[in-house]
Amino acid sequence: MKTIVFNTSPLIFLARLGWLKDFVQSQENYHCLPQAVAVEIQAKADQACIEIMQLIRSDLLQVKPTQLISLVNSLSQHLGQGESEAIALGIELQTDYLILDDAVARREALHLGLNVKGTLAILKMPHLTLASGKEALYLQLVKANFRVKRQIFDKVFQD
């Protein structure tokens, strides 16, 4: 069983795209998020928030506080609270994957030795592949306000 720690934006985008529940149900892994990420998600009571909170209540996603407070405080000097706690929790749990999109936070997590994946890597997983193709997926991402350069998207989803 793998441990996967999520930051806020990947959870929100996967929920907006309608793929979060499929992802966490199809994986026999421990999916968790830090307390600050749960707080950030609840700040906007939209459909994505409702879905994520249902997954938390059903124990498909676990909210876990981090004990590495000094690391969180250090990271918070240049990263957001959710990103800081996600990185610290990833280190604390010796996570298999940290799901994180922000470029600065990704660099910091990689520097600290974490295995980082982004939303696009999750969407590329075989059991989540969109039957209607990559163009439809790109349009879904744009509609969900996911910011990605077309060149990056094309590179990730090369055949």
Domains for the chain: give ranges and CATH numbers. 3-129 (3.40.50.1010)
The pTM of the full predicted model, rounded to 2 decimals, is: 0.86
* Tens digit of each residue's pLDDT, the chain (159 residues): 889 999 999 999 889 888 888 888 877 889 999 999 999 998 888 888 999 999 999 999 999 999 999 999 999 999 999 999 999 999 999 999 999 999 899 999 999 999 999 888 887 765 555 556 777 777 777 777 777 777 877 777 776
According to the 3-state scheme, what is the secondary structure of the chain?
A: CCEEEECHHHHHHHHHCCCHHHHHHHCCCEEEEEHHHHHHHHCCCCHHHHHHHHHHHCCCCEEECCCCHHHHHHHCCCCCHHHHHHHHHHHHCCCCEEECCCHHHHHHHHHCCCCEECHHHHHCCHHHCCCCCHHHHHHHHHHCCCCCCHHHHHHHCCC
